[in-house]
Structure 1
Amino acid sequence: MLVTHKFCPTCGTSRLARGFTYEPQPGEEPEFVLNPPLFVGPEPEANTRGGKFYHGSCHCRAVTLALKSKPLDSSYFSGMAESNCGICSRLGVAWLYPQANQVVMNGQDHLAYYTMGNGMLANGFCEICGVPIDNKFQEFSSSEPSLLSYRNRIFYIISRDGWFLNAKVMNDVDFPPMRVRYLNGWNDHKPTYVNP
């Protein structure tokens, strides 16, 4: 199998895969095993009672991260969120919302950021393999949050110290039991995406 994945270099959206597949002949079967990359560096500083370390990466492993969190299972109080907003539905992401001191990331110089919608958030993706990693708030002056809609202003105030991580880049997360919150980002975060 030889496949090249194509993604938009501006926003990170995966567009297509080109290549070919074939049935391997006897003796040609691949011996490929994906071993999660080892995270090298300091662990997150957070003092999370009952916390567990999780590691993750983009597909090409240029970006690796460590998360210290309560167990990511059905008991995870904050839950995981999926949104139907224009960018999230195209990227196929599921978001976790830890505090910034719960996360350490290596390879941030390989992240490209795309600002969308009302300009409040920027989506970060690996510039090499296109895998979405995080969302981060834009730097606002003291007066700019007042220009956001009431709903977005509240969201910014309560969430600006967090680090929005794509749960799907984390290793050893048992997704089926996790509680998922479904967000109506299509209507809640204006302006709405318009097909070109």
Structure 2
Amino acid sequence: MPAKDEDFIVLNGDETATLSTYECGKRTSAHKFCPTCGTAVMGRMHSGETPIGIAVRVLSDVDFDSLPVLMSDAANLEPLYQVPEPLETGVVPEGITPYHCSCHCGAIRYTLLSSQKIAEATKCNCSICSRNASLWIYPLTTTVRFDGIDNLTEYTFASNSVYHGFCKICGVTIRGRFGDSDIGLNLRTMNGLDLSGLEIKRVDGKAMLPAYEV
């Protein structure tokens, strides 16, 4: 959502000192996210009449599913985004499909070796998943290989039972960790995966206790 500086009032923290900044492509804008929880907050254009873009998912009391979506052709802007090099998997056993994944900047890469084609995902409406628009699958940890995990920042809240991991450089949500043995992977980080054909299972995480307080 575009905005002018006079329409934007910071009540807590500071745009420059509090938020992390990530730039890519022609670096015509700065993407700003919270370094603690990874939430994308805003974008700052380096020129133009409306220099600020607000991430509508951080707004309170907004029904995101009811909003009309205006499609952008930004994916075709020059220079075209180059997907980070996939991890080497070696010889992949017959019947196994490798899914190559990464954050935007490529500091974190991972590969899922799956015996089944990905056809469905879980969409949670909890306070953190709705902010990040994450789509989840829950594979066995033994089927996932990570590289650059030192660049992962984890955030937990409420019951502290789930650790939400995001890239500390570009802010992209990578995974959710449940203890040491179970993980969820954000399908939006899977390069080349067509999300439009997935069956979406909805989970009412918003109703789980303790309730999140804005």
TM-score grouping bracket, smaller chain normalisation: 0.7 to 0.9
- Rate the CA distance shift 1:190–1:58 in 2: closer, same or farther, 3 A: same
1:44–1:103: 8 Å Cα contact kept in structure 2? no
Provide the rounded CA distance (Å) in 2 between the counterparts of 1:40 and 1:21: 37
Aligned partner letter, 1:64? R
Counterpart of 2:46 (choices 6, 11, 20) is 20
Q: 1:21 to 1:43 in 2, by over 3 A?
A: farther
Name the CA distance, whole Å, in 2 between partners of 1:85 and 1:117: 11
Aligned length: 160
1:35-114 mapped onto 2 (5 Å cutoff): 35-42=82-89, 50-69=95-114, 70-72=116-118, 76=119, 79-114=120-155
Which TM-score applies when normalising by structure 1? 0.74
Which structure 1 segments of 5+ residues have no match? 23-29, 140-160
* Structure 1 residue 191 displacement after superposition: 1.0
Higher RCO by CA contacts (8 Å cutoff, separation 6 or greater): 1
Deviation at 1:43, TM superposition (A): 5.9
Q: Secondary structure at the match of 2:169?
A: coil
Q: What residue number does 1:166 align with?
A: 186
What TM-score, normalized to structure 2?
Answer: 0.68
Matches within 5 A, 1:97-176: 97-138=138-179, 161-176=181-196
| 1:190 is the counterpart of 2:209 | yes
Structure 2: runs of 5+ lacking an equivalent: 1-25, 49-76
- The more displaced of 49-58 and 99-108 is 49-58
Aligned to 1:33: 80
Structure 1 stretches of 4+ with a deviation exceeding 6 A read none
Spell out, residue by residue over 1:106-139, the C-alpha distance to the aligned partner (whole angstroms, 9 max, x if none). 0000000001121100100000110000010246
